[in-house]
């Protein structure tokens, strides 16, 4: 009897699912680290293994996707905490160039490939849109785990990914409105303007405001005032972002960035945030892996399409991102190019909307899903490879991370 | 357009609800701390204010109750981390006496009061059962915030609450089975035996096993091996608890206790866990407050019943818990008595099951709900009062908490 009672009231199934996700993610992370592969890859593959594709131990659900969303929000918040605004503004122009080329080339290529494969105009626009937005979470996690977030190239990637996300959401709204009612130019311009205004204003003034308020925050009765103010700011700006037309993770990143100066010498803040990240980010990664339904690929033409879309996604983003960094050394261009490759959840979101609107076929949907997971799996080893020399020069090895803050995130991925 | 898209995909409503809960809880905690009242009370009242009773900004939902459950699981895990098994075993006999009397007296009183009020046999059994189990979360949070978890009285309260919870679940299963099919003595004995066996075995051997495994844990590749192993153990034992017939929080507490020795000198572990607790526990407290629907009390007889049940709940638990500590000083008996008062979520769970089985009336349900919230609100100031001298003697004041570990939780409540 108590089993039944407890199970109904205490969400026994939910707790079991959470346990399986955490255990699988951590075990796979451990295995991949031992094989000297990025833990991120292990955690995504954990999702493939326990998800509907293979063992079917855990089904994707609204609850898990909400926890995954909170996880990626916290991840971007911690990345923001490591990013002083000046360091982003200093690379602003270059980041904009990387973002623009990194959006234009994949979009055009995706559109043309889909058209050539027999896709309709709207369908092809959707495929192009799905190839646009970089999933900054994956790259940030890998760079953080290598202790390289403060590198110039890392900052360009982060800055470009933020711009990229805004451009991606604008393109998505254009494509969606074409798919439903046709283009409403005034509305789109207004939306785009608001999104850009929000990001720029918060980015420019958030940090100044928080630095001025810092002494007052310190005198609050709250136990860990900065952590608690950080929580409120993180969720507040995440929600605000959505209403201003950008992704929640951009707001979380801006919240972290606003607190970066004020909490620079506050290791407690970093450890506490690190604890939440370490707990919740596996849900984000496992959830990506669970989205992949391998059974779709029994049809060989689906496999071909998926591989073609993936190859196009990798090459065009690498070229676009790399060319945007024209004038830097070739290795730096390559670093930026590979840093922009992962699409992760953003591509999946675009594809889901297209499928929901019944404007893209199941086969295209599967191809985009495959591309999103595959680019996320391919990028971390490439990033590790391209940044390996930088790391070695800094004396950072696999088993020793000297920087205190970097250590908070080290090998969280 | 992006607003609609983002909202549908990014759970805008959910993020907004989470933001409101966090912000309201932290603001109320700050206000109550300034008024020298326990922050816990402020956070529960935040739930009453933003919940359906008053502003209606946030509705109770499955999602929020899952996050609340994860929050209280983490809270008990951190309390376990502060509780070395020996310190519990040393007070084992006394804790058992406190638990037994603290269960018997409230159960008998609740049963008789309900019968006198005109309740049926089954209904009265349910009301008795709802008065039984102490919500250790609230007391632990208040004691932790005062840096008093390592006191003998604190350990007796914790130990008694664990035993109490097991007894409560056994009583609940007896009452439920009477409510449905009649008593199945063999089944009940088996269930009770399993529950007790599980708790005793994990409590006795968990810590020894983890202390032996500690050097191996340290050599794992995982970034924060103890925190990650702790996560797996915490959720694993929570799930196992449910299947063995005890509450998930007991498993979380046992998981923390198993790691208490091994992580004693590991402040990182404590800070990282503290971060998760600080983030998630407000959901647990706000969720309790949101359960209270004030509109039920437009009927004055409902108010009278609610007040009677609450008074009985407070007095009988205070007497039962205090008498169980017979032989200690009068102040210590009082400390233990008040420490056992809060019923919180356990009473609510019992009432919900009764309502779900259609064996208790709406009025009794409202009374139990009121009792659960009211005991949770009444207890913290009483606990603070009864323990105030102990704190002062240790030189712990409201603004300074010297112990590094206690500091991790200080004023989280």
Contact indicator for A161, A192 with CB cutoff of 8 Å: no
Give CA–CA dist A103/A317, Å, rounded: 8
Residues A54-93 pLDDT 10s = 999 999 888 998 999 899 899 889 888 888 888 778 888 9
Q: A84 in a domain, yes or no?
A: yes
The residue of B3, B4, B6, B135 whose CB has the most chain A CBs within 10 angstroms, and thus the best one to mutate to test that interface, is B6
Q: A286 in a domain, yes or no?
A: no
Please tell me the predicted confidence (pLDDT) of residue A285.
87
Which conformational region is residue B411 in: left (phi greater than 0), alpha (psi within -120 to 50 degrees), or beta? left
The closest of B318, B303, B361, B302 to B131, measured between CA atoms, is B318
Contact indicator for B176, A5 with CB cutoff of 8 Å: yes
Strand ranges (DSSP E) for A217-309?
none
Q: A196 in a domain, yes or no?
A: yes
Is A232 within 8 Å of B22 when comparing Cβ atoms? yes
Whether pTM exceeds 0.90: no
Per-residue HEC secondary structure of B218-281 comes to: HCCCCCCHHHHHHHHHHHHHHHHHHHCCCCHHHHHHHHHHHHHCCCCCCHHHHHHHHHHHHHHH
Please tell me the predicted confidence (pLDDT) of residue B2.
36
- Taken as a whole, chain A contains a residue count of 413
| pLDDT classification of A402: cutoffs 50, 70, 90 | very low
Sign of CA dihedral B62, B64, B69, B74: positive
Q: Which positions in chain B touch A9 (Cβ < 8 Å)?
A: 349, 352-353
What is the DSSP annotation of B292-304?
Answer: --GGGGGSHHHHH
Please tell me the predicted confidence (pLDDT) of residue A107.
95
Is B15 within 8 Å of A173 when comparing Cβ atoms? no
Between positions 224 and 253 of A, the ones with CB within 8 A of B are 224, 227-228, 231-232, 235-236, 238-239, 242-243, 245-248
Give CA–CA dist B392/B397, Å, rounded: 7
Between positions 321 and 360 of B, the ones with CB within 8 A of A are 349, 352-353
**Chain B residue with minimal CA distance to A412?**
B223
The percentage of chain B sitting over the pLDDT mark of 70, rounded to a whole number, equals: 90
Interior angle at CA B295, CA B294 and CA B297, nearest 5? 75
Q: What is the CA radius of gyration of chain B?
A: 21
Q: A50 in a domain, yes or no?
A: no
- The phi, psi pair for A328, rounded to 5°, reads -85, 175
Q: Which positions in chain B touch A185 (Cβ < 8 Å)?
A: none
Residues B345-386 pLDDT 10s = 667 777 777 777 778 887 888 898 889 888 988 888 898 888
Q: Using CB atoms within 10 Å of the CB of residue B152, give its burial: 0 to 12 exposed, 13 to 18 middle, 19+ buried.
A: middle
Q: Mean per-residue pLDDT for A372-381? A: 86
Q: B173 in a domain, yes or no?
A: yes
Q: Mean per-residue pLDDT for B162-181? A: 75
Is A236 within 8 Å of B5 when comparing Cβ atoms? no
Domain count, chain A: 1
What is the DSSP secondary structure assignment for residue A294, as one 8-state letter?
A: G
pLDDT at A396 exceeding the cut of 80: no
> Is ipTM over 0.85?
no
The secondary structure element, H or E, covering residue B350 is helix B344-356
Residue span of the structural domain in which A244 resides: 62-278+299-409
Q: Which positions in chain A touch B30 (Cβ < 8 Å)?
A: 220-222
Size of interface A-B (CB pairs under 8 A): 220
Q: Which two tokens stand for residue A64?
A: 């898990």
Please tell me the predicted confidence (pLDDT) of residue A230.
93
CATH classification at residue A386:
1.20.1530.20
Q: B328: which strand partners?
A: B326
Contact indicator for B164, B195 with CB cutoff of 8 Å: no
Sign of CA dihedral A231, A237, A239, A242: negative
Identity of the residue in B69, B177, B274 whose CB atom sits nearest the CB atom of A1: B177
Residue found under tokens 């607003």: B3
CA A87: distance to chain centroid? 20
Is A169 within 8 Å of B275 when comparing Cβ atoms? no
**Greatest mean pLDDT among A325-334, B173-182, B345-354:** A325-334
The residue of B23, B181, B195, B223 whose CB has the most chain A CBs within 10 angstroms, and thus the best one to mutate to test that interface, is B223
Q: Which positions in chain A touch B243 (Cβ < 8 Å)?
A: 3, 12
Residues A264-286 pLDDT 10s = 878 888 889 999 999 999 998 89
Q: B9 in a domain, yes or no?
A: no
Q: A169 and chain B: CB distance < 8 Å anywhere?
A: yes
| pLDDT classification of A175: cutoffs 50, 70, 90 | confident
Report the SS3 class of residue A178: helix
Q: A269 in a domain, yes or no?
A: yes
Is A12 within 8 Å of B242 when comparing Cβ atoms? yes
Q: A159 in a domain, yes or no?
A: yes
The residue of B20, B147, B186, B279 whose CB has the most chain A CBs within 10 angstroms, and thus the best one to mutate to test that interface, is B279
């Amino acid at each position: 009897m108590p089993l039944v009672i407890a199970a109904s009231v205490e969400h026994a199934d939910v707790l079991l699912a959470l346990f399986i996700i955490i255990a699988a993610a951590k075990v796979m992370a451990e295995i991949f680290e031992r094989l000297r592969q990025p833990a991120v890859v292990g955690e995504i593959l954990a999702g493939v293994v326990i998800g509907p594709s293979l063992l079917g131990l855990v089904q994707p659900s609204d609850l898990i996707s909400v926890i995954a969303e909170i996880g990626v929000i916290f991840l971007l918040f911690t990345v923001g905490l490591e990013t002083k605004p000046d360091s982003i503004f200093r690379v602003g122009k270059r980041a904009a160039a990387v973002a623009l080329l990194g959006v234009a080339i994949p979009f055009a290529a995706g559109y043309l490939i889909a058209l050539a494969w027999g896709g309709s105009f709207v369908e092809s626009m959707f495929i192009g849109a799905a190839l646009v937005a970089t999933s900054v979470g994956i790259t940030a996690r890998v760079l953080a785990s290598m202790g390289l977030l403060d590198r110039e190239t890392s900052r360009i990637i982060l800055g470009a990914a933020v711009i990229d996300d805004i451009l991606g959401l604008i393109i998505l709204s254009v494509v969606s409105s074409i798919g439903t009612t046709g283009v409403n130019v005034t509305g789109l311009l207004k939306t785009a303007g608001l999104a850009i205004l929000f990001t720029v204003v918060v980015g420019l003034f958030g940090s100044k405001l928080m630095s001025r308020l810092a002494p007052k925050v310190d005198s609050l009765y709250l136990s860990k005032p900065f952590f608690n103010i950080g929580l409120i700011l993180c969720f507040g700006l995440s929600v605000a972002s959505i209403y201003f037309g950008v992704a929640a993770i951009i707001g979380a990143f801006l919240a972290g960035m606003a607190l970066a100066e004020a909490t620079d010498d506050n290791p407690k803040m970093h450890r506490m945030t690190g604890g939440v990240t370490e707990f919740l980010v596996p849900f984000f990664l496992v959830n990506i892996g669970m989205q992949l339904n391998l059974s779709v690929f029994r049809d060989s033409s689906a496999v071909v399409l998926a591989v073609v879309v993936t190859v196009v996604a990798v090459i065009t983003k690498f070229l676009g991102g790399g060319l945007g960094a024209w004038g830097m050394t070739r290795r730096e261009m390559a670093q930026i190019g590979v840093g922009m490759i992962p699409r992760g959840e953003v591509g999946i979101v675009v594809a889901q909307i297209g499928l929901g609107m019944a404007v893209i076929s199941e086969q295209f949907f599967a191809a985009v899903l495959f591309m999103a997971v595959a680019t996320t799996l391919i990028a971390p080893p490439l990033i590790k490879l391209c940044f390996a020399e930088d790391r070695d020069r800094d004396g950072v090895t696999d088993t020793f991370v000297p920087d205190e803050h970097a250590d908070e995130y080290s090998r969280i991925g």
